[in-house]
């Protein structure tokens, strides 16, 4: 089922997600719904907060993008496409490379895009849908997506990582979006 996406101004986007200790049937259904929602909206990643659930859960699929990604499994280069779609539960990231600027958008911020500085290569540790620990090293778009989504799970948004000038330039759009979301919440 395609779920409604929560937009900037909704308080759940600022909530730290609860860790998931058991992948219950409800969580499995949520994962299925999150993938459907992400695909429907042409996203490369979606965090549980974006569908109104403050949980340490995100789904990612970079296959639709032409921007390059790299992947290493057990120290060996691996094929990114074979590793997709990707569900990360309780993810933790460790930076491995210097920060690099790259374009980002967010399904909770329609029509708003900006360059964000992030480590270009990271190590990731998480649980998969079977509740097993997975570890991998990634770079490029995949590393950017994992970091953007992991931020969501801690209530951090990409606007928090914009430089001051970029955020100033977007100020009116951000204020308008926040205001519209709050007005809609009040009306419910
Ligand atoms: Zn986002």
* Three-state DSSP state, 84: coil
The per-residue pLDDT for range 108-166, each reduced to its tens digit, is 999 999 999 999 999 999 999 999 999 999 999 999 999 999 999 999 999 999 999 99
CATH class of 11-187: alpha beta
How many Å lie between the centroid of ligand 1 and the Cα of residue 154?
A: 12
DSSP label of 117: E
Sequence-ordered list of residues with C-beta below 8 angstroms from that of 188, at least 6 positions apart, any chain: none
Q: Are strands 45-47 and 57-60 parallel, antiparallel or unpaired?
A: antiparallel
Q: Ligand 1 centre and the CA of 108: distance in Å?
A: 6
Q: Would you kindly state where each structural domain of the chain is located, as residue ranges?
A: 11-187
- What is the rounded CA–CA span in Å between residue 81 and residue 91? 20
- Which among 64, 111, 149, 168 is annotated as catalytic? 149
Please indicate whether residue 111 or residue 187 has the higher confidence score (pLDDT).
111
**Ligand 1 geometric centre to CA of 158 (Å):** 7
100 counts as catalytic: no
Q: Over the stretch 81-120, which tens digit does the pLDDT of each residue have?
A: 999 999 999 999 999 989 999 999 999 999 999 999 999 9
Closest CA to 62 of 91, 89, 82: 82
What is the CA(25)–ligand 1 centre distance, in A? 25
CA dist., res. 183 & res. 161, Å (int) = 26
Phi, psi values for residue 13, rounded to 5°: -65, -20
On whether the pTM is more than 0.95, the answer is yes
């Amino acid at each position: 089922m395609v779920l409604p996406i929560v937009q900037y101004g909704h308080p759940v986007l600022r909530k730290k997600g609860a860790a998931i200790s058991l992948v219950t049937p409800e969580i499995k259904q949520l994962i299925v719904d999150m993938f459907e929602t992400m695909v429907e909206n042409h996203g490369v990643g979606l965090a549980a907060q974006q569908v109104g659930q403050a949980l340490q859960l995100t789904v990612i699929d970079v296959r639709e993008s032409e921007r390059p990604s790299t992947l290493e499994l057990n120290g060996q280069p691996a094929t990114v496409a074979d590793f997709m779609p990707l569900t990360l539960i309780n993810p933790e990231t460790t930076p491995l490379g210097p920060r690099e600027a790259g374009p980002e958008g967010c399904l909770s911020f329609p029509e708003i895009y900006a360059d964000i500085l992030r480590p270009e290569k990271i190590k990731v540790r998480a649980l998969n849908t079977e509740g097993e620990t997975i570890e991998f090293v990634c770079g490029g778009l995949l590393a950017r997506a994992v970091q953007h989504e992991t931020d969501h799970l801690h209530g951090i948004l990409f606007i928090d990582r914009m430089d001051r000038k970029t955020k100033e330039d977007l100020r009116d759009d951000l204020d308008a979006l926040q205001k519209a979301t709050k007005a809609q919440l009040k009306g419910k």
